[in-house]
Amino acid sequence: MYELSGFDVTRSNSHFKLCDSVVSIRLNEFTKMVEVAAVANPIPTEMFRFRTLEELMALANTNVHLPDIIGEVSDIRTTYNDHAQTTQRVMVTIKVDNDATVCVSVFDSVAELLHKRLEAGVVQPRVMVATNINPKFVGGRLYLNATSGTHFYFDNEVTASRTLFEQLSTRPENDTTSGKQYRGVKKLEPVSLGELNNYVLNSPPQSIEFLCKARIVSLETTNGWCYISCAKCSKKLQRGISSFTCTTCFNASAVGVVRYRVEMHVESGEDTAVFVAFDSAMSKLIGVRAAEVANPMGQGEDPLGYQIPQFLQDIVGNAYIFHLKLTEFNFSGNHKSFTVARIFDPNDRIPGPTFAPHYIDQAK
């Protein structure tokens, strides 16, 4: 707690009303802050400005208010960007007042952070508070879009969410002993290498993911172990005389970044296959980014000639569990290789069905 003196008072930002007050305090060079040990009137530690559904609808598409919301979580859907291998979007369906449901949509870096927090929890949260959301009507439906200023609080994290959480727990129709599991981590079916090869020959073309354990026999280096990619879109760059061109970004002087593209011959018993791992999977396995060992600006020659780093050679002979992403292309009969999304050490925990402990157990 501080005592503040010597400050300016100005009108609050009228573009985004981040607070209810019409005026705000602006600190200047004469401002003094003195810490106060105790005060007669305690100041509340949290102050949310929750809005009803009706108020949210009135605020939609106006861009003037970034209100806070609270509700009971009924569903969470997470969308991955396969190309960037990051969380692209998290859609949380919540019940607000009068049991009406609305969708809170969270994008990009905020989605990535939210996904990580949800993933860290064993069970899906039941109550969510989201601050500074921007209500929008899209195609006649109300969406509560998270902004870069949005913070999320769950269940017992703040007083407001704890109060609603406790209210919900006392409702007789709610079974409080079984928490729903966050489905952000997709459940992947383990298959043998033989089953995998057989599957693509005998199944209709589809997008499907598997876990498959196999041993790396050798690295296929005909195409090198890395490529020079566009720093912006990750696509392979065309080398010019003195610059790189990205045909995806239409940029004739793109910034080149070295990314992994590692082809591996793998085996399991009698069965063999070729797996291809890209930058995200290889960086996570090895702990070193390709850009840290090779620089297209420093090494002028073609990445085909880049020497294979020792730590890449070292993975040969090891058995791993590969998270494979099959596309319809894999079923075309002349498929050459399977794309690897993640590589796990067999001793590490594998994303798969886990049993959610009871809330009661958690409280112990």
246 interacts with Zn ion by CB under 5 A = yes
160 interacts with Zn ion by CB under 5 A = no
Binding Zn ion (rule: CB under 5 A), the pick from 101, 145, 238, 248 is 248
Q: x/- contact string, 192-231, with Zn ion (CB under 5 A)? A: --------------------------------------x-
Please report how close the Cβ of residue 336 comes to Zn ion at its closest, in angstroms: 25
Please report how close the Cβ of residue 260 comes to Zn ion at its closest, in angstroms: 17
Stretch that binds Zn ion, among 19-27, 94-102, 217-225, 249-257 (CB under 5 A): 249-257
Please report how close the Cβ of residue 247 comes to Zn ion at its closest, in angstroms: 8
Please report how close the Cβ of residue 14 comes to Zn ion at its closest, in angstroms: 39
Please report how close the Cβ of residue 263 comes to Zn ion at its closest, in angstroms: 23
Please list the alpha-helical segments (H only) found in the chain. Answer: 53-59, 108-120, 159-170, 193-202, 279-286, 290-293, 310-313, 359-363
Closest CA to 91 of 51, 141, 54, 143: 143
Stretch that binds Zn ion, among 77-85, 164-172, 243-251, 337-345 (CB under 5 A): 243-251
Beta bridge partners of 105: 91, 145
Stretch that binds Zn ion, among 57-65, 150-158, 246-254, 272-280 (CB under 5 A): 246-254
With CB under 5 A as the rule, give the number of residues binding Zn ion: 6
Largest CA distance in the chain: 80
User: First and final CA of the chain: distance in angstroms?
Assistant: 33
- Compute the distance between CA of residue 33 and CA of residue 268 in angstroms, rounded to an integer: 68
257 interacts with Zn ion by CB under 5 A = no
232 interacts with Zn ion by CB under 5 A = yes
Residue number with CB closer to Zn ion (246 or 281): 246
Contact 104, 94 (CB under 8 A): yes
Structure tokens at 27: 């600190």
Residue sitting closest to Zn ion (CB):
230
> Could you identify the residue written with the tokens 């009303």?
17
Binding Zn ion (rule: CB under 5 A), the pick from 53, 60, 91, 233 is 233
Using left for φ > 0, alpha for ψ between -120 and 50, and beta otherwise, residue 98 falls in: left
Classify strands 338-344 and 271-278 as parallel, antiparallel or unpaired.
Answer: parallel
Please report how close the Cβ of residue 83 comes to Zn ion at its closest, in angstroms: 12
249 interacts with Zn ion by CB under 5 A = yes
Please report how close the Cβ of residue 246 comes to Zn ion at its closest, in angstroms: 3
Please report how close the Cβ of residue 255 comes to Zn ion at its closest, in angstroms: 9
32 interacts with Zn ion by CB under 5 A = no
Residues 6+ apart with CB under 8 A from 345: 320, 321
* b/e map 73-111, b = 16+ CB within 10 Å: beebebebeeeebebbbbbbebebeeeeebbbbbbeebb
Please calculate the CA angle 86-114-351 and round it to the nearest 5 degrees: 60
Where on the chain is the footprint of Zn ion (CB under 5 A)? Answer: 230, 232-233, 246, 248-249
